[in-house]
């Protein structure tokens, strides 16, 4: 059987690391390229990498994801989150291969909202990260019909720097944590995103029609940031003697930070109907991530 050549960009990010930790189909040949091996803002490097690897499909997880840094470095945010996906879409279009690209709930403003966003709802970001990701989405839509844009939300995992690993570090080093209650999110395990990417890729590679377009995936249920922080603290409690006090705060208590949508929850029926991918309770993903983290610690000790 001919192998399927799947090119993974942003290979050292948390979603890609989660994907690489999964059992991938045996007929995949995975070409995993981190930032150093393929800088997506270097269009010539991207073209050469594609020419060398000859992918049947590209998964792009690379992005500038540091929301506050995007506010102070617009040029880099635009280069990584808009120009780079636009170029990838053009290259995929020329080669007639599918492109799977990750995007974010931060394309929505969350203002006066308490019901999950559908895929076709109007985008209206409140910060530069969301703006640049929205522009990246639009460029892909206009350039290449064979795309999947998968919007995800508040991703956590055992890998790299993210909501969970930052929280564990804060627990170890702080006596008090101020966490906002006025941002509702739908935490999503990177492992769930990874499994969805594998299933979407497999389905597209088997020639499914109607599998292209924009999709949503996030965990359940929606919670505020403080509630999620408390859950992370509870999950970590058996492994530490530390338990800082959590103090409720409001976004306005952190004036130096980029604006965030007060409600960032995605409606996920389309990915279930088209791909058979179901939302998972984030508590299960949290337990799974904690197991991976603690297993890693035992191996180091
Ligand atoms: N994290 C979240 O909560 C969240 C929420 C919604 C959507 N998303 C989206 O999901 C996707 C994956 O996110 P993630 O959480 O896995 O992010 P991540 O852990 O920050 O990984 C992103 C990766 O992209 C790499 N990268 C940055 N600029 C690059 C460039 N110019 N060329 C090549 N690689 C580059 C980074 O490398 P360096 O570290 O070396 O820069 C990093 O390894 C992104 O599209 C993000 O926008 C994330």
Contact criterion met (CB below 8 Å) for 47 and 59: no
| CATH of the domain spanning 4-155+188-218+264-280, picked from 3.40.50.720, 3.10.580.10, 3.40.50.880, 3.30.565.10 | 3.40.50.720
CA distance 106 to 127: 8
Please report the pLDDT score of residue 1 as a whole number: 63
Domain extent listing, the chain: 4-155+188-218+264-280
Which residue's C-alpha comes closest to atom 17 of ligand 1? 13
Written as one string, the DSSP assignment of 213-278 is: EEEE---BS-EEHHHHHHHHHHHHGGG-S--PEEEEE-GGG-TTSPP--SEE-B--HHHHHHH-PP
Contacts of residues 165-172 at CB distance under 8 Å and 24 or more positions apart, as own/partner, are 165/293, 167/229, 167/232, 167/233, 167/236, 168/232, 168/236, 168/293, 170/244, 171/233, 171/236, 171/240, 171/242, 171/243, 171/244, 172/240, 172/242
CA-nearest residue, atom 8 of ligand 1: 104
Q: What is the reported pLDDT for 209? A: 80
Active site residue 212: no
pTM over 0.95: yes
Q: Which of 7, 12, 35, 160 to mutate to test the pocket of ligand 1 (most atoms within 8 A of CB)?
A: 35
- pLDDT averages per 10-residue partition of the chain, 301 residues: 92 98 96 98 98 98 98 98 98 98 98 96 98 98 98 97 96 97 98 98 91 98 98 96 96 94 98 98 97 82 66
41 C-beta closer than 6 A to ligand 1: yes
Give Cα separations from 55 to 63, 140, 301 (angstroms).
20, 18, 40
């Amino acid at each position: 059987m001919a192998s399927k050549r799947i090119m993974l960009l942003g290979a050292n990010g948390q979603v890609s690391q989660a994907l690489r930790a999964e059992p991938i189909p045996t007929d995949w040949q995975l070409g995993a390229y981190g930032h150093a091996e393929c800088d997506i803002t270097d269009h010539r490097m991207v073209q050469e990498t594609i020419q060398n690897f000859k992918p049947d499909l590209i998964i792009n997880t690379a992005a500038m994801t540091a929301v506050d840094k995007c506010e102070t470095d617009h040029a880099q945010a635009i280069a990584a989150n808009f120009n780079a996906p636009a170029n990838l879409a053009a290259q995929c279009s020329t080669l007639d291969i599918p492109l799977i690209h990750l995007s974010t709930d931060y394309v929505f403003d969350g203002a006066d909202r308490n019901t999950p966003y559908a895929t076709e709802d109007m985008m209206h970001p409140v910060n530069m990260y969301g703006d640049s990701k929205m522009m990246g989405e639009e460029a892909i839509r206009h350039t290449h019909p064979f795309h999947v844009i998968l919007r995800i939300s508040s991703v956590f995992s055992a890998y790299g720097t993210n909501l969970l690993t930052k929280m564990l570090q804060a627990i170890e080093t702080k006596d008090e944590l101020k966490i906002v209650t006025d941002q509702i999110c739908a935490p999503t395990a990177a492992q769930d995103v990874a499994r969805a990417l594998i299933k979407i890729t497999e389905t597209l590679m088997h020639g499914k029609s109607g599998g292209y377009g924009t999709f949503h995936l996030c965990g359940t249920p929606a919670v505020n940031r403080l509630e999620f922080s408390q859950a992370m603290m509870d999950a970590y409690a058996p492994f530490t003697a530390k338990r800082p006090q959590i103090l409720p705060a409001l976004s306005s208590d952190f004036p130096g930070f980029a604006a965030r949508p007060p409600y960032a929850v995605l409606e996920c029926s389309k990915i279930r109907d088209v791909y058979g991918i179901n939302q998972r309770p984030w508590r299960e993903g949290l337990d799974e991530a904690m197991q991976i983290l603690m297993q890693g610690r035992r191996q180091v000790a």
